[in-house]
Copies of this chain bind each other. A is one copy, B any other.
Amino acid sequence: MNTYKIAIDVMGSDNGPELLVKGALAALSEHEDLEVLLFGDADTIDRAIGEYDRSRIEVVSTTEVIDNYDNPMEAIYKKTDSSLVRALMTLRERDDVVGVINASSTGALLAGSLRYVPAKQLRRPALASILPAENGGFTCLVDTGANIDCSAQHLVDFAHMGSDFMKQYYGIENPKIGLLSNGTEPTKGNKLVKETHALLKKESDLNFIGNIEGNRALSGDCDVLVAEGFAGNQVFKNSEGIARRLITDIVKYAKKTGSSEIMQLVGYLMKIYDFNSLGGAIVLGVDKPVIKVRGSANADTIKNTTSMLMNMIKHNDLFNGKDVR
C-alpha cells in the first residue's frame, strides 16, 4: 500500500493548535494510508496527541509562529524556524511529503509558497477555491482574493494554472474555462474582462468556453472560473453568505414549526454548502499542493481538508500513471 505524508502547520489558527491536532488524528483514523507531520510547539502537540497511536505521526518542533500582524514578505525570510516556513521547506526537500495544510496568514502563505515551493514556471501564485457545482461536480474559482488589480495576462495565467490543476488533481481531461463577467456576450465585461476574453480566445491549449455570469458561477457550466481577485472574492464570499443565510432561515423555520423532516433537510444542505469543510483555498502556481484553511478552522475542517488533499493526490498519481491502491 502506498502511503501519503501530509505536512500540517498546526500553529497560527484562531482556535489554537489543539483543535488542528485533533483534526489530524481524525484524518489518520479515516485514512489508513495517511501519515502526518505536525509542525509547531512540540509540547502542545504532544499533549494534544495524548494516547493516540504515534506510528503514523511525526512531530516537527518549531519555535516561531507567523501571524496576521507580521509583514508577510519579511516574515517568510526572517522567521525561518516558524511552523509555516519549516512545513514549506519540508515540502520542497522531501519527495515523500506530498502537501501542506496551513491555517495562518494568506499573504505569508503565498509569499512562502513562491519562495520555498518549486514551480516549473515562475508565475504569480493565485488562490483557488473548489466549489460545489450544481451538476454535482466541482468548479475551481481562481482567484478568490489573493490578487487584486490584476492584468489580463495574470488572468490568462490563472486560466492555465486552474486548467492544469483540474486535470492533475480532479482528473478532468479537457477542463472547460469560463471567464466571470456581467453578461455572456464577448462584448460584455469591464475593460480587463474584455481584454482577457480576447487573449483567452487565442490560447489554443485552453478549452475556453466564454463568459459566465454571476448567477451561473457555480452552475457547473465550466470547470475553471477565472476572475480577477476582487470579483472572485465577491462571488466566493457572497455564495457562502447567501447559502448560510438560507440555511439559518430554514433552521429558524424548523424550530418554529417543530418539523423534524426540515431538520433532516438542514443536515443534507449543510453537507453540500458547508464551504468551510470543503477544504479551504489552494495555492496555484507551485508544483505541490499547498492548502490554506481559514483562521477559524476546527478539527472537522482539518479532517475534511486532509480528505480532499488525499483525493487530489491520488488523482495526481493516477494522472502520472502511478498505482494508487
Contacts and interface: CB of A to CB of B under 8 A. Distances in A.
Contacts of A259: 261-262, 265
B242 A239 contact: yes
Contact of A233 (B182, B244, B247): B182
Contact of A242 (B218, B230, B257): B218
A157 interface: no
Main secondary structure of the interface of A (DSSP, over half): helix
Contact of A191 (B149, B193, B219, B243): B149
Nearest to A240: B215
A184 to B, nearest CB: 11
Interface in A221-251: 229-231, 233-247, 249-250
B249 A272 contact: yes
Interface string A156-187: 00000000000000000000000010100000
17 contacts: A145-B182, A148-B189, A182-B230, A189-B230, A213-B233, A214-B235, A214-B236, A214-B241, A216-B241, A218-B242, A218-B245, A230-B231, A234-B234, A234-B235, A242-B246, A257-B261, A259-B262
Q: Lowest 8 CB-CB distances: which A-B pairs, in order?
A: A215-B241, A214-B237, A214-B238, A215-B237, A182-B233, A214-B234, A242-B242, A259-B261
